[in-house]
Structure formats: structure tokens, C-alpha cells
Structure 1
Amino acid sequence: MRIRDLFGEVEATLRQGKGGGSYGSKRERLWQWASGTRGSFWKRLAFHLNRKTYKEWDRAEGGFGPALVNEFWPLLNDPAPYEAGYDLLEDEESREVYLWRLKVRLAMPFVLRWEDVYPAPPAPGVGDLSIGAEEEAFCKGFKSGQYLLRDICMPEPGDVILDLGAFLGDSAVTFSRLVGDGGHVWSFEALASQFETLRKNLARFGCDNVTPCFNAAWNRNEELHMSSNRGSSAIGGRENPVPGIRIDDFVRERGIDRVDFIKMDIEGAEQEALEGGAETIGAMKPRLALSAYHKPEDLHLLMTMVREMHPGYRFHMRHYDPGFCDTVLYAVP
């Protein structure tokens, strides 16, 4: 199935009663309005329901989340970049994950529980890969295989890794065990309270091959401020200062002569971090594991950006969560 075919499929699904009126009065009014437009349902919706119009409508109705329409409006208005992103994916499983995310975006404004309409695809897992029983208990995402795509995009013994968005250290501990004594991991965490916990966890598991770095990967070297919400942090607000640094400058200043693998899960700053690492990625051609769900355009734009740095990259995509989060784009040179 191609991207443009999704519009008819999702509309048919909604008209079968799997979304729309039975899922809430505000959504029912939106559904009835959109269904009554002349011509193509989705084209009319895209034309009328731009951000300004939607915010006015949402305010009048009491609101159920402008972010929902911000998710799917770009797809309705200009599907061409999403079509190009689909064409860049290497395997059928990647394309299915990609299409699933687009279906969810289209259905979201009309349903209360999108999971009932388009359930998340299963996580691929890690097979018989092991990092140690105690480590696996700590690394909650390990069994699902997040950031690890077996036989395609994996950290290897001796690798040098940039772990951007280390949180409490689960990915850092995983990478530490996989690269072994001959490798090294540079782990960025941008929230001070979590950075201290990261350091403690690295000491707890004896990760001597991991260097914790209190930095945020960015496209300029400047002080940033982080907002915190339920353990995750994102750039914004006025508190929680952290040094923002370009990957290219970090690699140069630390005298790092090769980078083999880069993982990014940095709450919507992936585009800026890639901009700041364009020289490193183009010259060293590391394998990449990039979170691709924080911004709607990340789904296709991250691939375009990486291809501009080095045209030989090939792309795969997997999903790791029963909900909307944790879709990872893999890039292999």
C-alpha cells in the first residue's frame, strides 16, 4: 500500500463505526462536519482544518487537543514528503510500521482510543542476546530490542558509541556490555537530577567504559534550559540550565577519532542534533538509531537529512511500545 491509498482506507474504517460519533460528542461534531463537505473528504479537511481554523474551532467546542490535528494536518496538506520517506525504507516490516504511524495520525482526531482501531505492531525483541541477568532487570527496554536491530544495526565489540539521551543509564549499560572493554560509550544526559542518577547507575554496574557527559546535543554551542515531565526532559522553559553542544565540536574537542554508532532519543531535538553532527556522520559514517516519533515530520525528514550527509545510508524502522512512543529509525551506511 502507498501513502495516498491510506486516506480511503482510514475513511472506510471510520465510517464502519470504529471511530467517530460513538467515541465522544466533540469528535462526533468534527466527524459530522467533515463528512458533510463536498469533494474529497481528506482534501476538504486539509483545506479547512489548518492550524488557525482548528484552534478557533477547538476553543469554541471546549477543546480536546490541538496537538492531535497538528499531528495529521501536515500529512493531509502535503503527503509527498511522506511518500518519499516510504520509498527510502528497505524492508516490508519497516514499511508496515511507517504506514501504521500514518494511519494512527489520520484517525486520532476522530477516536478516543486509537489503540482499538490500529493496535501497535509487536516489538521485534533481541532473540537469544544477553547482557547479564542483573543488567537486563535494570534495562527495561532491552528485551523489546529498543535501539538494537539484530543482524542489521547493532553495536559491536570495540565500537565507540554516542548515547544521546541517556536518561538513567539503561541504554548506556546495554551499550557498555555490548562493546566490551575494547569499546567506549559517551553518554549525554541533559537534566541534572537524572545525570546524577546516571552516574550512580554506571558505578553500580561497573561501566568503566562509559563516560557520562552533562550536555545536550544541539546545532549550536550555547546554554539551553530543560523542562521536565514525568522523567523525560525537553528543551524549553527557564530552569535546569545545561550546556548545549554540537556533536562535531564534541568529537573534535575530545579527540575522538572514530564514531561507530549513534543513538538519539532526545525528545524532539533529533533534527538539531543531526545538524550539529553532519560533519561527523558524513566522514565517519556511524550506524544510527534515531527516535522518530517526537515530531510529525521526523518520520520522513530524519531520513532526508541523513541521506544529505552521506547518500549511501539505508533505512529500517521498528516500533517498541504498546502506545504511540518508541518508534526508532535505523540508518546503516
Structure 2
Amino acid sequence: MDNINDFRSELLKEDLYNINAKKYAEKIKNIGKVVIWGSGNGGQLVYNFLKKFDALENIKYYADNSKVKWGTKKNSLLVISPEEVVQEVKESSHICIILASQYLADIKKQLLSLGIEENIIDIKGFGLAKDYWTFKERTPYEIINSHMNDYEKVYSYLSDQRSKKVYLGILNSKISLDNEYLEGVADSEEDQYFDKDIIHLNENEVFCDCGSYNGDTLETFITLSDNKYKKYIAIEADKDIYGELNKRVEDNGYKNVETYNIACWNRKKVLKFQSAQTAGHVTENGDFSVQADTLNNILKDEEVSFLKMDIEGAEEMALKGASRVVGEIKPILAICLYHSLKDYYKLPLIIKNLNFEYKLFIRHYTDMVDTETVCYAIPNSRI
């Protein structure tokens, strides 16, 4: 079966966005007691979703692993400890625990270890609520169908069956608001950016880390490379996080590391930036200004061999500003796709347009949650 027919036959053909949202809310209404595990942003997303569908009546508590939150209230609901959740389960015959965190796989393991039965642990609500609030104007089904040829083209470019399974699984989970399509899709989060089946580091790597955060990827790279590399270029737009990055470099005595407090873009200009820890991003409503420039300029004297991007939705602009780097130098690329559904077709097609030689692979690194999806582009010389 050819790629396009395979793609069309496996892609969901019904818009299930509103159908499954209502069905889930009705299910929650019929449960005697509900605990939302996670009192942060994830818990708020779930709460807001259930409120929209008038399904708050049976929500009794938040739960959290953070001790400082125990005994506090959120949305007038008491935040309880894991031990108190166990007690609630013992006393209730009809209870559900909605895991409202991208770390739901780890939390599920924790709850199972506490003796809580799997059938009362809900791993669907968080992803459903997150995507429900993401797509306000057009459903994922409508977006995908309006760009069907582009998604098909990306699918046809993917170089292995694993990539195709990941790609279809994520698109179907979006269309259906059901993370059952992510079952078996994730690889170990420890392999992110350095997937052993795809990436083979050498001693001459010049690694450019766009969205370097506080140096977490730097630390992983140095460990995996056994401290044998040529240069590491860390680029971080958030001025406070940039300070943390430099402190980590200094404290650990890392050598041959250059850091830049700059945003990657398609031209040189000043942008507004919103600080948000791991999700800081360029936005017109940002709380401070940051200088932006192209990677063609920033890396003008560098023979970059590996280029990674996780820059919260600015990947399209940054890739367009890296036309020379990608087209002529041809580094390995590890580009995050998950910030926008449209990025799942836009970014791979930009890469192929800049350099058709690249072989494309897609891998995913959060179990049952559609975040941390990476498109790898490998030049023939590094296959």
C-alpha cells in the first residue's frame, strides 16, 4: 500500500472533538466522588473544562505531591496529600482520580504503588482538557483536512515505520481528544534529542542548542558525549533563565561552551518575550524585550554539526532564519513539533525545502500526553 493511501486509511474520518468532550463530561457527572490530582496549570485546565460542561458537582478535592500545597485551597477545593487520597479511596465505593499533569505516567505508577486500583485512575482528562482549550476556532479535524496534502506529504517523507506510527497516533489523538491513540507511541524521555536509533554523536560535534533553558540538554549532551566534543553553543532568550544557564556552566566547569541571551528569529529585530519558566515565549504581550536575530547571523563563523530547537512556537521563524546553516552546512536537526498542530506539517516541509537531502524521523517522549515530539532531520553523511 502506498504512503498516501496508508495515511488516509489510518487517519480518523470523523470529527470527534465535541462528541468526545461531551461524552467525557457526562462520565464524570456520573461518578460519586472525583479528585483532580495536580493543583497547578494542568489541574486548572481540567477544572475549567468540567465547569464549562456543568460537571463540577462531584469534584471534591485537588491532590498534589507538593507538601506546601497540602491544606490550601484552589477553586474553593481543599488540596490533599497522597495519603489522604488513599484514605478517600478506602472510604468511597465510586471514586475517580483525574491525573492533571504531563507526568501522568509517573503519577499513575505512584498511585498503583500506593495500592490504588488502575480502574479508578483517569489518564484521559488532562490531555482532553488541554486540547479542548487549545482549539477554540477550528477543530483539529478541520485543520488537518484543510491541509491534508501537506500532512500527507510529510508522512510520505518519513523514513521509518516508527515515525509513521508516531505521526498518525498524535494526529488521531488530536482529532478524537482521546489519548488512547498515543498508546505505545512514546520512547524514553531520557532519549529526547539523542535517540539512540537515530543519533550517533562524534568527538567533533559543534552543538547549537536553541532554547537551552538552564542547561539541562547541555548536561545530557556532555554525559552522552563523554565530555568529548568541539563546542557547545547555548542560546536562551529568557534573561533570568539565561543567568541560571551561565551559573550551571560555571559551577560545573564546562569547557568550550558559549552562551547567548538572544531569541532566534527570521530577521534581526527586538521582540516582546513572556517569561514562564520552561515555557517562556515570544508574544506581543510579553513582559520584557529581547534582541532577536537569525541563526545565519549568530552562527556565521560556526561549522555547526547538530542544531536543536525547542523554542515554544518560534521554530518556524528560526528555521527560516537558518536557511544558509541548514542548506549549506547540513547539521543534524532536532526540532520540536508539538507547540502547534500546524507545525506537524509546516516544520518538516520547511526543512525539506531548505535541504531535500535530509532523511526525516519523528519521535515522541511523553507517555500518553502529546508534548515533547521531535522531528529529526539527518543528512546522508550522518545516517
- Does TM-score exceed 0.5, indicating one fold? yes
User: What is the aligned partner in structure 2 of residue 22 from structure 1?
Assistant: 23
User: What is the aligned partner in structure 1 of residue 359 from structure 2?
Assistant: 314
Partner of 2:168, secondary structure, is helix
Counterpart check, 1:250 vs 2:298? yes
- Name the stretch that deviates more: 177-186 or 312-321: 177-186
Q: How far apart in 1 are the matches of 2:134 and 2:312?
A: 19
- Alpha-carbon offset, residue 232 of structure 1: 1.5
Partner of 1:186, secondary structure, is strand
Equivalent residue runs for 1:198-277 within 5 Å: 198-236=245-283, 237-252=285-300, 255-256=301-302, 258-277=303-322
Q: How far apart in 1 are the matches of 2:366 and 2:258?
A: 28
- Alpha-carbon offset, residue 77 of structure 1: 2.5
Counterpart check, 1:165 vs 2:211? yes
Q: How far apart in 2 are the matches of 1:8 and 1:314?
A: 27
Q: How far apart in 1 are the matches of 2:200 and 2:186?
A: 16
- Alpha-carbon offset, residue 71 of structure 1: 3.8
- Alpha-carbon offset, residue 277 of structure 1: 0.4
Q: How far apart in 1 are the matches of 2:172 and 2:294?
A: 35
Counterpart check, 1:281 vs 2:326? yes
Counterpart check, 1:303 vs 2:372? no
Q: How far apart in 2 are the matches of 1:240 and 1:71?
A: 32
1:70 to 1:162, Cα distance in 2 relative to 1, 3 A: farther
User: What is the aligned partner in structure 2 of residue 183 from structure 1?
Assistant: 230
Q: How far apart in 2 are the matches of 1:238 and 1:301?
A: 25
**Do the aligned residues in 2 keep the contact of 1:181 with 1:209 (CA within 8 Å)?**
no
Partner of 2:163, secondary structure, is helix
Q: How far apart in 2 are the matches of 1:100 and 1:266?
A: 23
Q: How far apart in 2 are the matches of 1:201 and 1:24?
A: 45
1:172 to 1:73, Cα distance in 2 relative to 1, 3 A: same
TM-score when normalising by structure 2:
0.65
Q: Percent identity?
A: 27
Q: How far apart in 2 are the matches of 1:123 and 1:238?
A: 33
User: What is the aligned partner in structure 2 of residue 2 from structure 1?
Assistant: 6
- Alpha-carbon offset, residue 9 of structure 1: 6.5
Q: How far apart in 2 are the matches of 1:185 and 1:66?
A: 35
- Name the stretch that deviates more: 299-308 or 265-274: 299-308
1:82 to 144, 151, 175: 151
**Do the aligned residues in 2 keep the contact of 1:164 with 1:217 (CA within 8 Å)?**
yes
Q: How far apart in 1 are the matches of 2:322 and 2:224?
A: 24
1:71 to 1:183, Cα distance in 2 relative to 1, 3 A: farther
**Do the aligned residues in 2 keep the contact of 1:155 with 1:261 (CA within 8 Å)?**
no
Q: How far apart in 2 are the matches of 1:148 and 1:124?
A: 11
Regions of 4+ moved over 4 Å: 7-11, 60-64
- Alpha-carbon offset, residue 66 of structure 1: 5.7
**Do the aligned residues in 2 keep the contact of 1:103 with 1:118 (CA within 8 Å)?**
yes
Equivalent residue letter for 2:182: P
Equivalent residue letter for 2:210: L
1:313 to 1:226, Cα distance in 2 relative to 1, 3 A: same
Equivalent residue runs for 1:127-166 within 5 Å: 141=189, 143=190, 145-166=191-212
**Do the aligned residues in 1 keep the contact of 2:305 with 2:330 (CA within 8 Å)?**
yes
Q: How far apart in 2 are the matches of 1:67 and 1:280?
A: 34
**Do the aligned residues in 1 keep the contact of 2:211 with 2:234 (CA within 8 Å)?**
yes
- Alpha-carbon offset, residue 182 of structure 1: 4.3
1:4 to 1:197, Cα distance in 2 relative to 1, 3 A: same
Q: How far apart in 2 are the matches of 1:146 and 1:23?
A: 32
> Unpaired runs of 5+ in structure 2?
27-51, 55-128
Equivalent residue letter for 1:267: E
Counterpart check, 1:96 vs 2:159? no
Q: How far apart in 2 are the matches of 1:61 and 1:177?
A: 48
Equivalent residue letter for 1:78: H
**Do the aligned residues in 2 keep the contact of 1:3 with 1:79 (CA within 8 Å)?**
no
- Name the stretch that deviates more: 76-85 or 314-323: 76-85
TM-score when normalising by structure 1:
0.74
Q: How far apart in 2 are the matches of 1:325 and 1:152?
A: 20
1:72-105 CA distances to partner (integer Å, 9 max, x unpaired)?
Answer: 4210233111111100000010000000111011
**Do the aligned residues in 2 keep the contact of 1:167 with 1:232 (CA within 8 Å)?**
no
Q: How far apart in 2 are the matches of 1:10 and 1:157?
A: 50
Q: How far apart in 1 are the matches of 2:13 and 2:139?
A: 21
CA RMSD of aligned residues (A): 2.8
1:70 to 1:187, Cα distance in 2 relative to 1, 3 A: farther
Partner of 1:268, secondary structure, is coil
- Alpha-carbon offset, residue 8 of structure 1: 4.7
Q: How far apart in 2 are the matches of 1:8 and 1:170?
A: 37
1:228 to 1:120, Cα distance in 2 relative to 1, 3 A: farther
**Do the aligned residues in 2 keep the contact of 1:260 with 1:287 (CA within 8 Å)?**
yes
